[in-house]
Amino acid sequence: MKKQCYFSQHNIKFIDYKDTDILKKFLNPHGRILSRKRTGISAKYQRQLGVAVKRARFLALLPYVAS
């Protein structure tokens, strides 16, 4: 069974880097971004997610590495 894209389902057009609760759903316990295969996100939103997570890390909203 193919997973549904979280952002398409919830009608989210743009991923905001300040919304850390949503971003954390797509990070593993070590703080790495999960793959599309694991999450079922479309390619468009996976690219946006990568940029948003990197911006949030740069502004210290998310950790680079979780211990």
Fold of 6-58: 30s Ribosomal Protein S18 (4.10.640)
Q: How far apart are CA 13 and CA 7, in angstroms?
A: 7
Q: How far apart are CA 22 and CA 63, in angstroms?
A: 15
Look at 3 and 50; give whichever has higher pLDDT. 50
Q: How far apart are CA 15 and CA 26, in angstroms?
A: 12
Instruction: Determine the Cα angle at 16 with ends 12 and 7, to 5°.
Output: 25
- Tens of pLDDT, residue by residue over 11-51, are 999 999 999 999 999 999 999 999 999 999 999 999 999 99
